[in-house]
Structure 1
């Protein structure tokens, strides 16, 4: 019997005392894929990525699922994926893809390959003076500061001109961008691809008075029926990747000028795949996994 492992972590596993408020998304993902896997005669195991290697005995393929603490343990996470691969287990997405995607500086390479991105400064260290200088560089009064290794807006800060304390500093290597009002007005579009094939799209909207679109901060999601042009723009990001299309990809984009979409992130590690807005997600993912196993 083929056995698929779905990687989780101590903050997403049911019953954990440290479970995240948005861990219901983990439950929705598992509920969506389990029936389609069972229909193919596959066994599904949900495993904490930090579990001993012995827990992966008999596993044929590992799907990096809801390992939503890896950004604080990046090297250990990468090492574990590499160890699983060396043990002969297929990793999806591969440790090479994860290593490329784990630091958001990959956006520079995609920009060089033609992607339209938000103007960004990359700073290893950042303090209040750097924040004021960045506002001058972007000719803006608000900045969004994100961790270069991070996800889900955790640790993210919005800074406003004249409101930054003189002793403020950011504790991680940073990506710094001008705040674009479109994120609060029209939200973010997430395009889901499996094996390079477009599946479905979601519009994510922040709650009133916020700009963060994640459910953890009160954001909501609705099904978006993208135009042919929108799908083409998202597909161009898949084509710009410096490797073959991975098993799954979520391309997050923001509405720009003249119907041009701006790439926010290409999520290739452990993105939430929005099964509620993509009712065929489980089946589509299973078909893509079957192709991976055949290869």
Structure 2
């Protein structure tokens, strides 16, 4: 059996992870999979033929240490997926600016390096919104993400000033369709479209992650949504083994890019019974084609 590592974290106890659904389909292709924490300093990466970054959902707490581990893997004989250059670009949400400059519609965004109490009120004016979202440019799982109404903004001032004193962040208008309809996620393995799900937050929340009570439903994407996902996929170089593209519907009935996930997205293999086999097929051919 050929050896593959799924890069994970010390414990997934409080997370919903579906990567185990890949173990049997990959075994049928001759691959033995081992989940390995990125914090394990004793692991010899040379023992694996491929290391797939899958569920290191605490990397945002120490992104520099995480990236050093990825560099170590990249220097080993193991093949890293997705590629280091892609991860380096995707780890900071400023990649959204790059995609916007290439004609991709994103959620309107303000980018700040440090928090200013004096400038804080202007976010509502610039975004023409009575409600905003503030989150770090390096984040995962909705950590340190705030939904703030204009009338309540002063009560967050001290917390934001402390959290973003020396930490870049992004400000966006709250998108009503997140709660009215949900967030669409399209999944690709290589250049193969796999499936789409709609994630909706629980009542009185805006976070769509399962850990925060989000609900999932498999859907058939509209033609425009499929086209947008494909357009973004074709702009990525080097090509990713896996891609998740998150969209929200705008008030103008277009679709705006929320996130492009190339590092550690849940791929929701539980929502499409054929997706584990589909991934295993693409993965095996992907590695074979490079040898």
Report the TM-score when normalising by structure 1: 0.91
Q: Using the alignment, how far apart are the partners of 1:247 and 1:259 within structure 2?
A: 31
2:2 matched residue in structure 1: 2
2:222 counterpart of 1:227: yes
Which of 175, 194, 198 is the matching residue for 1:199?
A: 194
Which of 134, 137, 140 is the matching residue for 1:145?
A: 134
Cα distance change on mapping 1:227 and 1:141 into 2, 3 Å: closer
Cα distance change on mapping 1:101 and 1:64 into 2, 3 Å: same
Could you report, residue by residue, the CA deviation over 1:223-268 in whole angstroms, capped at 9, with x for unpaired residues? 0111333211111111223x14300000000012454211001000
1:48 matched residue in structure 2: 37
Contact conserved, 1:120 with 1:177, CA < 8 A, in 2? yes
1:29 matched residue in structure 2: 19
**SS of 2:184 mapped into structure 1:** strand
2:181 matched residue in structure 1: 186
Q: Post-superposition shift, 1:44?
A: 0.7
**SS of 2:280 mapped into structure 1:** helix
Q: Post-superposition shift, 1:5?
A: 0.4
2:115 matched residue in structure 1: 126
Q: Using the alignment, how far apart are the partners of 2:42 and 2:6 within structure 1?
A: 14
Could you report, residue by residue, the CA deviation over 1:196-216 in whole angstroms, capped at 9, with x for unpaired residues? 221000000000111111111
2:283 counterpart of 1:289: yes
Contact conserved, 1:114 with 1:240, CA < 8 A, in 2? no
Residue correspondences, number: 283
**SS of 1:129 mapped into structure 2:** coil
2:210 matched residue in structure 1: 215
2:151 counterpart of 1:157: no
Q: Post-superposition shift, 1:81?
A: 1.1
Report the TM-score when normalising by structure 2: 0.93
List gaps (5 residues or longer) in structure 1.
13-18
Alignment of structure 1 residues 265-276 onto 2, 5 Å:
265-276=259-270
Contact conserved, 1:101 with 1:267, CA < 8 A, in 2? yes
2:109 counterpart of 1:114: no
Contact conserved, 1:127 with 1:167, CA < 8 A, in 2? no
Q: Using the alignment, how far apart are the partners of 2:119 and 2:22 within structure 1?
A: 45
1:167 matched residue in structure 2: 158
2:256 counterpart of 1:262: yes
2:48 matched residue in structure 1: 59
Q: Using the alignment, how far apart are the partners of 1:259 and 1:197 within structure 2?
A: 27
**SS of 2:119 mapped into structure 1:** helix
List gaps (5 residues or longer) in structure 2.
none
Q: Using the alignment, how far apart are the partners of 2:42 and 2:253 within structure 1?
A: 48
Q: Post-superposition shift, 1:56?
A: 3.0
Which of 236, 243, 247 is the matching residue for 2:231?
A: 236
Q: Using the alignment, how far apart are the partners of 1:6 and 1:252 within structure 2?
A: 23
Q: CA RMSD in A?
A: 1.5
**SS of 1:201 mapped into structure 2:** strand
